[in-house]
Structures are given as C-alpha cells and as structure tokens.
Structure 1
C-alpha cells in the first residue's frame, strides 16, 4: 500500500452538531494516507456527521479539522454520498466529466481521468446510458466513479454498498483498495460489516458521537471475543413456551420476538449438539460461527453478552 507521511485526515477534539444539538463530542480521528478507515455504529451514532465535517459541509464548533497538508487540500476530497449526487438525465460518463471539470482538471487530462474512473468502478458497460435508467447497483458504481475522478487525496464513501449485489460489492471493494494503494486516504461509512471486514485496514466503532473502540478488524475481534463462538438458534415462528424456557435455562438470550436466540461461549459447538433435538422439535435451525464486526458493534452497544 502506498502511503505519505502526512495523514489524509485529522480531526482533533471536534464538537459538531445540528440546531444547537451536539452530535460529535470531543471527537478525534486520524486516517493515514494509503489506508482505508471504516466507521461502524448504530443509526444515530454520528458516522455521517463525521463525513460532513471532514469534507467541510458541516463546520466544527470546536476542535481542528485538517485534510492532507492544509486548507488547499479541500479541493482534493472525493465524496460519494449515501444519496446519489448524479444528474439523472446524464450518463455516468457525462456525470464524471462534469465532476472532472469541477475538480479543475486540465482539459487535456479530462478524458483519461474519466476513462480511468469508469474502468476502476466497472462502469463501462453502462457508461453511456442515462443514470435514471440504471439499477441501484450501477448508480452506486457511477457515484463512486465521480468521487474518484479528481483524483482525491481523501475519499469519503458513505454507505457505498447499500442495496447492491455481490458482484457490485466486489467491484466497489477493488476500487477502494486501488485508491488507497495509489496513496489516498479513504473514510468508509458503512453498516455492511462483512464489506468493512474485507476492505478496511482500520475500524472505528462509534456510539453517541464518540469513538468507543478502534483498531485493525482482526485485532478488535480477537480482543473482544477471543476464541469464543456465537451459537445462534432461529425459528420460523416464535419458539414454544417449553422450548423458550429450556433455551433460557441454557443461557441463550432471545431477540425480543422469540425468533432468534443466541449465546456467545467457548463451548458453543457442544451446546449446539446438546440443543439440536430440542430445536428440531420446534422447527428451528442451529448455526455456530465466529463473531463478526456486526457482533462487535452489538456487544459494545450493550446488545450482545
């Protein structure tokens, strides 16, 4: 991965919010050039507010925000917002060309930059169709292509995988990694824990406008869960009273609707074998897996013990 001594983004003791209501409180964050940093957290945790502060759409009330080596780097931010920033009557190619000119690219370099951004995001098969005729996945690709045409020193991608298929997820992951390898810092805002685990170098977990955990995905999961496994029992309808009672006695907790019961433990496999006849009798299914980043967010938010 390419890197630069100057961080792509630094937030120091930032406070920011809306209509006098603080969302970020004493928030600090640093993203290295050449790396992908992902923010995870429940709705309302403050992730999108971080993105708005970083790209200058929302001023910080307190603290410092530095992009690259100073204020001149503001023009080298690529933003792929959650809501598409594309002109629906134009094609992806035309949208990316407009963005390239707004970025101040020299006229002679626009075509090559546009072609590169379209290729990087796999947009070529639909590059000349009107955006309004495209599926959500193709719009996500074009949205990211417009953010990459700069090319940016800091890329901010807000929920880039929302509503996309597996093929598009793979293309978007490749585009983010290639951008980081080219020396840019990437801030990824996402609820897609699997995509984050596959893509990000570092992860920050947010709650109530603060970072409550930070580190490499593997390190965070090892620290939180060790060798424990997650036992999950799912039912097509709420478990019967007898089955629910026995699951509770076995230390499983339910999701509030009685459709899923879970237990985190080092002996999850043995529990699964013991509970299998009981679960089968009520039409349920058992699964045992390693905890993921979504489970980490739930645990740090108090939802998984």
Structure 2
C-alpha cells in the first residue's frame, strides 16, 4: 500500500540502453492514482521503453522506478498489480472471449473460485459480454483490442499501461475503448498511455509528457499547458482540395504555414495580417488550391510540435498579402 501523498508511480533519473544505444536518458516522472498520463513522441523517442521500465519488465541501468514505493522489477507481487496492454494483440484466437479472460485470470494467480466473478466483471467493464462466447479470432479489430484490455484487468490492477490502444480501429471502437479507460480512471486506477492520436490524448489525459531522444522535453498538466497556449494567437488551418504544386507550396510557406498531415492541411499561428476572406483570396491569388480556412484554438498537436521544435509558435505577420482588386 502506498503512503498518503506519495505518487503511485515515481521514476527518478531512469536510464536504459538497448543494443548499445541509449533509449531512455535520465527520465523523471510521477503518476497518481486516478490520473491519466499520456506519453507523446515520435517513433524511437523511448515511450515503449519507459513503459517497460514502469511495468517491471526491465530494470533501469541507473536511476529508480518505484510503484507504491517498491521496485516492480524485483518484486513479483508489485508486477501482479500492473495491467500491461501491449500494442500487439496478445490473445488466443481459437478460444472464446470468456475462455481467454479465464486463462489470463489463472496466469495472474487467481483461484478457480475467484475467476468466474472476475471474468464477468471484466466483461461488463469492457462492455463485451455480448461476444463472451465467440472465438476471439472471429472478432473485429476493435473488439479484439477491448478484449486485450479486459485481459490485462483480471487481477484488478491499480496501474494500467497501454501502448497505442486504439491503433487501427474505427471510430465506434475508439469510443468504446475510451469509455473503458474512463471507467478505469473513475474507479481509481492510474493510467499510463502512449499514443500518437492528439485528439485521444486531449480527451483522456490529465497530464502529458513529450519524449524525444529518450528524454522528457515537456511535461505538465494538460489544462495548464493549454491555458497558457490559448493566451496567444489563434491558429489558422488551411484545408486544400488538392496537393499544392511547387509555387503553391512556396506561397504557403511564405505565409508561415506548415503541413500537418498528408499535405492537404496546413497550419500557422498568426498575430495580425489578413484574416478570413482576405487571406483566402490572397492564397488563391497565389495559386493555392484552398477549400476553406478555419480558425481554431491551439491544441495538443501544437503543444507537441512546439516541444519538439523550440522555435516560437507565433510566426507573426504572414508575408503573403491580399492583392488589391484591379
């Protein structure tokens, strides 16, 4: 049992190398019961490695990892109170959902008498009782991910670690998984989630930690970080109807815009300069295939990009100007 006012998870100066390369470097972080911390960062930033340290799957080369004051790598009982949900589906495809959960309950050390009630509770928590008797291999990807989460909960863990839990699922499955995580948090579980989905993070996280090169480069309470960001200029988002050619790309970059996805959306933070219809007209006048311009409050994606690129987010006046009518 953790002491009062002591975080459930405390990582201090943790470092780890893999195949001669440092993948976690001097990381400090804490996580309280009933709190969700989201890890953000590019591939190879160290998110999954940090989660393995917290899960007790690996020991840090230096520094410490403590769960309720104990070392999860050395103490098996502590690891038993951690629910680990890997990115890949780790289930038995020929067994039914309920049979899978029973197997994982048995692997968690639960007795035959305890298991039926805990299986029913996990089915209810993950809202998958309707498929309890179906083989996992016949389920959709979204249902399989919900079963994957349910399997990690058989020992009623106080800490749940999830690596990209909604990767490759549709919107309905994503909403269902988010509902499961909200129930876990409401029941007092601490949740550590690694995600590339900014909307997911904004919806679920109490705090975020942005990682790069094995280090945490920004960390804080999400509401506080967003509040400071919203004190600045709003973002202009340009939605294109076609990919821009070289001239249109130059015009967009000259106006301070950068691409944010497939190249059909460009975003900038401007203080001053042409607004709305004037900016739309100016960009079209330079051959940019603009469908619409949206004005939006900066969100998690802006925080993330600013953390990885320390250059100021506000780009000042756009260098493109509206042309006077002839």
TM exceeding 0.5: yes
Following TM superposition, by how much is the alpha carbon of 1:296 offset from its aligned partner in structure 2, in angstroms? 1.5
Which residue of structure 1 aligns with residue 9 of structure 2? 9
**Residue deviations 1:229-257, cap 9 Å, x none?**
22122334343555445444433345699
Does the alignment pair 1:44 with 2:34?
no
Comparing 145-154 with 236-245, which one deviates more in the overlay?
Answer: 236-245
SS of corresponding position for 2:267:
strand
Following TM superposition, by how much is the alpha carbon of 1:14 offset from its aligned partner in structure 2, in angstroms? 0.5
Pair 1:238–1:207, CA change in 2 (3 A) = same
C-alpha contact (below 8 Å) 2:206/2:223 kept by paired residues: no
Pair 1:117–1:257, CA change in 2 (3 A) = closer
TM-score, normalization by structure 1: 0.89
**Unaligned stretches of 5+ in structure 2?**
314-326
Q: 2:160 aligns with which of 149, 155, 160?
A: 155
Which residue of structure 1 aligns with residue 61 of structure 2? 61
Distance in 1 (alpha carbons) for counterparts of 2:253 and 2:145: 43
Distance in 1 (alpha carbons) for counterparts of 2:266 and 2:184: 41
**Residue deviations 1:56-90, cap 9 Å, x none?**
22221111111124233221111111011111111
SS of corresponding position for 1:98:
helix
Comparing 85-94 with 68-77, which one deviates more in the overlay?
Answer: 68-77
Instruction: Report matched runs for 1:1-305 at 5 Å.
Output: 5-70=5-70, 71=75, 72-240=77-245, 243-254=248-259, 259-267=264-272, 271-279=275-283, 282-285=288-291, 286-302=293-309, 305=313
Distance in 2 (alpha carbons) for counterparts of 1:147 and 1:258: 38
**Residue deviations 1:3-58, cap 9 Å, x none?**
96442221111111212211111111111112111111111111111111111222
Distance in 1 (alpha carbons) for counterparts of 2:37 and 2:142: 23
Comparing 188-197 with 239-248, which one deviates more in the overlay?
Answer: 239-248
Aligned length: 302
C-alpha contact (below 8 Å) 1:233/1:279 kept by paired residues: no
Q: CA RMSD in A?
A: 2.5
**Residue deviations 1:178-205, cap 9 Å, x none?**
2222222111111111111111111111
Following TM superposition, by how much is the alpha carbon of 1:301 offset from its aligned partner in structure 2, in angstroms? 1.2
Following TM superposition, by how much is the alpha carbon of 1:303 offset from its aligned partner in structure 2, in angstroms? 8.5
Following TM superposition, by how much is the alpha carbon of 1:209 offset from its aligned partner in structure 2, in angstroms? 0.9
**Residue deviations 1:96-124, cap 9 Å, x none?**
11111111223222111111111111112
Comparing 132-141 with 240-249, which one deviates more in the overlay?
Answer: 240-249
SS of corresponding position for 1:275:
helix
List, as ranges, runs of 4+ consecutive aligned residues in structure 1 with deviation greater than 6 Å.
255-258
C-alpha contact (below 8 Å) 1:228/1:265 kept by paired residues: yes
SS of corresponding position for 1:164:
coil
SS of corresponding position for 2:228:
helix
Distance in 2 (alpha carbons) for counterparts of 1:259 and 1:34: 39
Structure ID, larger Rg: 2
Pair 1:126–1:153, CA change in 2 (3 A) = same
More contact order relative to length (CA 8 Å, sep ≥ 6)? 1
TM-score, normalization by structure 2: 0.84
SS of corresponding position for 2:289:
coil
**Unaligned stretches of 5+ in structure 1?**
none
